[in-house]
Chains A and B, each alone.
Chain A
């Protein structure tokens, strides 16, 4: 069986816009040396650096229209 977890490469989906999608669980080492982890089946890693939950995506990459636009 080639489907035993860990025996196949981990898939990362890298779209042009938006977060990197990485198959979980993952451990992320941050610049200050601290480690954060997630057991989710897939994690969205922030690439725009605007996330307030960094390194996890919190959808802050989304486009914001000009202030005052009716909506």
Chain B
């Protein structure tokens, strides 16, 4: 199989460990014998670096895997048992900490109100973001955007009727509607190139904090479990509903600092695309699913709430670091040759 040819990425290297759990999962993937025991997992912080990285390592075997790791590890029963043990405290902490609504409609309606003087992360980047902020933001978001729409594709076989048709239509759009250069993951790689970041899949996992990994682990958790299909749909609806206004602010930020045409285009495309996707997901996917399976109403609401909760944790970390003038990453990025560039507009 041709692997290094243009655009087709190689598997990423295993990232450095962050504690005993991630160290033993990484060690096991490299053919060491010992996996973490369940007591050690119980002692770990559910949203902490060590557990989140360990979970990320387990999940990545279902996407692109890692260099030097046997692809069959994806279905290694011992590893799956450990993955389940890592998922339990993560899911339990989300159920306890994040749940705010009983019904999908209530959870989603709340997202439709746009505060005039919002102060979220996209507001910060729009109003005062500098090149280094945008590079840090893109580096951490790349953990998801370089596999944009992939975790959501897993839900397709679990849906039926309007929900399946709507979900497939939106996914088709995310995957470029048959045009490789319009695949959203590819467009994000082009954005990274504009920002002089390395667009290789998984490259910035080492630098991404627990909060950034948790946002992506949530999608994998919901995507890989049929039992959580309602939560996956809720998660997707939350992302599509909040994306359009946020993308408009990010497009402005990219334009203001003169990031480049691909960087601006990625977010401009998301303003229009997600205004459509929001409508389809709400009317066809969420409504269609709940028509077929009304008992999933609470799970859809949980998916929306969990997404907002983890996004807020990520925003808090980034904004706290940036307001203190510090890097939000575990390891700061090497300085861009263009850091001295002044805004072009």
Binding site for B on A (CB under 8 A): 13, 18-19, 21, 38-44, 52-53, 56-59, 62-69, 71
Instruction: Out of B114, B271, B279, name the residue touching A62 (CB < 8 Å).
Output: B114
CB-based contact A53/B272 at 8 Å:
yes
CB-based contact A68/B279 at 8 Å:
no
Tell me if B4 counts as interface (CB < 8 A to partner A): no
CB-based contact B177/A39 at 8 Å:
yes
Distance A18 CA – B118 CA, assembled complex (angstroms): 22
CB-CB under 8 A from A13, the residues of chain B are: 279, 283
CB-based contact B248/A64 at 8 Å:
no
CB-CB under 8 A from B272, the residues of chain A are: 38, 40, 44, 53, 56-58
CB-CB under 8 A from B297, the residues of chain A are: none
Tally of B interface residues using CB under 8 Å: 23
CB-based contact A41/B279 at 8 Å:
no
CB-based contact B177/A53 at 8 Å:
no
Query: B240-264, CB under 8 A of A: which get 1 and which 0?
Result: 0000110010000000000000000
Sampled A-B contacts (11; CB under 8 Å): A13-B283, A38-B272, A40-B273, A44-B275, A52-B248, A58-B248, A59-B275, A63-B112, A63-B114, A64-B113, A64-B115
Binding site for A on B (CB under 8 A): 112-118, 169, 172-173, 177, 244-245, 248, 271-273, 275-276, 278-280, 283
Give the shortest distance, in Å, between B281 (CB) and chain A (any CB): 12
CB-based contact B245/A19 at 8 Å:
no
CB-CB under 8 A from B283, the residues of chain A are: 13
Distance A13 CA – B162 CA, assembled complex (angstroms): 15
Give the shortest distance, in Å, between B225 (CB) and chain A (any CB): 28
Closest to A66 in B: B116
CB-based contact A62/B112 at 8 Å:
yes
Closest 7 CB pairs of A and B: A57-B275, A59-B244, A44-B276, A67-B116, A56-B272, A71-B115, A62-B114
Closest to B166 in A: A42
CB-based contact A42/B275 at 8 Å:
no
Known: A40-B173, A41-B177, A52-B248. A65 touches B276 (CB 8 A): no
Closest to B278 in A: A59
Closest to A43 in B: B276
CB-based contact A21/B172 at 8 Å:
no
Known: A42-B280, A59-B245. A64 touches B114 (CB 8 A): yes
Give the shortest distance, in Å, between B49 (CB) and chain A (any CB): 29
